[in-house]
């Protein structure tokens, strides 16, 4: 069987990586395609897994234009399944639409799947969903979780957002629950001593992972974000000279201060010291008290405040590898993960690591709909007794430094309930996925 994986963004490899690994282990042919020619192919292979560098069944391709990709696919008669995250424009080309019918599979990517479809009119204006009329499948995690997300949009969304989601219920799309596939047995059993050696961590030390506040001034409430995190950002850049750095940094700092002053609630947070700087100090004290290392996992698109560099024992980027990611490796030796409504919770739970959600106020969210998708209601994603803890920022600032690591002890029964509800408790999910892929191939007469 030949599988064609389309990467509109390089981080799609994170979602595909376990499926690619399994496909190669089963001796299938794998073709990974990028729609721009800006990547070192050998480097991408290394980021997947070094063992596949010389694997003849793994091929990477890049295309400078959409038309170049279409022309290539029109001539290729060997592809059995086209695997994507979202419907891409090349699929609706007249040369391909009949050819790909009943061969297209979309892989669910957490809450982002629902969020992207409901905002499709804003994201892909030149690629309307109603033109994707070919027969296709979407591989979700659990039917319960998928339907719950859709129900939230239908309850809190506007008319356009609700209408966009009708695409997920059309006759030519079949929903197949195959389970959460971003963690496999290889990742779940990665050698702990190798991980500690790679990151220069003492063999007798455990770690706490902190996922920093993802500040984004694209969200509506810039004032609260400025008060919580933005005021502590260093706006200097290495590629600017000293004078330009100084001028731009001062201007941006003034802009952040003005944003804080624009709302009474932000002024209150600022005066009370409810901010990320003090959160990081509290985490540092917690780690010292419990004799564990303080590790920060940063993302390139989000800046770190200076206190992070001053307090952490280790700061890692997560763009160095995709199988497993640095975050997944570190989960193997972690005692606790802290994050702000992050979908990294799914990997933590799957790898048996307690997760503490830092509950943020409405200012963190772009809309009431988004707030409900990332809700902290009881027995939902970010508040599930015995596996995912949830505390408000103010509570953690007052109390976290006095807590013990044993306060976050997993209750196996609760973990199983969480996995069953959201991720699918089937430990052979990749078998289910590949059995379905094979069935699709047979249906197409191959």
| pTM for this entry | 0.92
Are residues 278 and 407 both part of a single domain? Answer: yes
Residue 42 lies in a domain: yes
Are residues 88 and 113 both part of a single domain? Answer: yes
Calpha distance 389→398 (Å, rounded) = 16
Buried b (16+ CB within 10 A) or exposed e, 66-75: eeebbeebee
Number of CB atoms found within 10 A of residue 210's CB: 27
- What backbone phi and psi angles, to 5 degrees, belong to 355? -125, 130
Are residues 41 and 95 both part of a single domain? Answer: yes
Are residues 209 and 350 both part of a single domain? Answer: yes
Are residues 194 and 327 both part of a single domain? Answer: yes
Name the band, by pLDDT with cuts 50, 70 and 90, for residue 148: very high
Residue 257 lies in a domain: no
Are residues 38 and 161 both part of a single domain? Answer: yes
Residue 250 lies in a domain: no
Residue 159 lies in a domain: yes
Cα–Cα distances in angstroms (integers) from residue 251 to residues 114, 196, 219, 248, 269, in the given order: 38, 42, 21, 5, 22
Are residues 172 and 200 both part of a single domain? Answer: no
52 vs 357, residue with greater confidence: 357
Give residue-wise pLDDT tens across range 55-110.
889 998 888 888 999 999 999 989 999 999 999 999 999 999 999 999 999 999 99
Q: What is the CATH number of the domain that holds 344?
A: 3.40.50.2000
Q: What is the CATH number of the domain that holds 43?
A: 3.40.50
Are residues 338 and 438 both part of a single domain? Answer: no
Are residues 92 and 197 both part of a single domain? Answer: no
Encoding tokens for residue 300?
A: 């390139």
Give residue-wise pLDDT tens across range 252-282.
889 999 999 999 999 999 999 999 999 999 9
Residue 154 lies in a domain: yes
> Residue 60 belongs to what domain range?
2-179+427-443
Q: Residue 31: pLDDT above 90?
A: yes
Are residues 161 and 208 both part of a single domain? Answer: no
């Amino acid at each position: 069987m030949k599988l064609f994986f389309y990467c509109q963004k390089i981080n799609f490899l994170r979602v595909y990586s376990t499926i690619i690994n399994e496909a190669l282990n089963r001796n299938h042919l794998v073709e990974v395609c990028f729609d721009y020619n800006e990547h070192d192919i050998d480097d991408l292979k290394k980021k997947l897994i070094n063992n596949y560098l010389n694997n003849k069944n793994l091929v990477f391709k890049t295309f400078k234009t959409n038309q170049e990709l279409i022309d290539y696919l029109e001539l290729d008669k060997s592809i059995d399944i086209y695997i994507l995250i979202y419907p891409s424009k090349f699929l609706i080309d007249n040369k391909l639409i009949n050819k790909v019918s009943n061969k297209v599979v979309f892989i669910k990517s957490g809450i982002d799947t629902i969020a992207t479809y409901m905002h499709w009119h804003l994201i892909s204006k030149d690629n309307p969903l109603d033109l994707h009329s070919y027969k296709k499948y979407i591989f979700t995690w659990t039917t319960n979780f998928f339907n719950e997300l859709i129900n939230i949009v239908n309850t809190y969304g506007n008319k356009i957002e609700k209408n966009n989601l009708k695409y997920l219920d059309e006759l030519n799309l079949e929903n197949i629950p195959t389970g959460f596939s971003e963690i496999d047995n290889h990742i779940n059993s990665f050698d702990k001593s190798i991980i500690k050696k790679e990151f220069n961590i003492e063999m007798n030390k455990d770690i706490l992972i902190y996922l920093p506040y993802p500040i984004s001034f694209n969200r509506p409430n810039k004032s609260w974000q400025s008060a919580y995190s933005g005021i502590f950002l260093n706006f200097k850049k290495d590629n600017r000279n000293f004078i330009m750095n100084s001028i731009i940094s001062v201007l941006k700092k003034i802009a952040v201060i003005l944003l804080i002053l624009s709302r009474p609630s932000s002024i209150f947070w600022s005066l009370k010291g409810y901010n990320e700087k003090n959160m990081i100090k509290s985490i540092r004290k917690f780690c010292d008290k419990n004799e564990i290392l303080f590790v920060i996992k940063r993302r390139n698109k989000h800046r770190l405040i200076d206190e992070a560099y001053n307090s952490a024992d280790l700061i890692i980027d997560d763009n160095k590898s995709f199988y497993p990611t640095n975050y997944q490796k570190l989960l193997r030796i972690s005692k606790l993960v802290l994050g702000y409504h992050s979908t990294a919770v799914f990997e933590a739970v799957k790898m048996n690591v307690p997760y503490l959600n830092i509950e943020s106020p409405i200012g963190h969210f772009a809309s009431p709909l988004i707030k409900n998708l990332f809700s902290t209601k009881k027995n939902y994603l970010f508040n599930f007794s015995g596996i995912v803890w949830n505390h408000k920022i103010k509570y953690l600032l007052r109390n976290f430094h006095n807590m013990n690591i044993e306060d976050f002890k997993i209750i196996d029964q609760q973990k199983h309930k969480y996995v069953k509800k959201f991720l699918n408790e089937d430990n052979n999910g990749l078998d289910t996925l590949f059995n379905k892929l094979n069935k699709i191939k047979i249906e197409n007469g191959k």
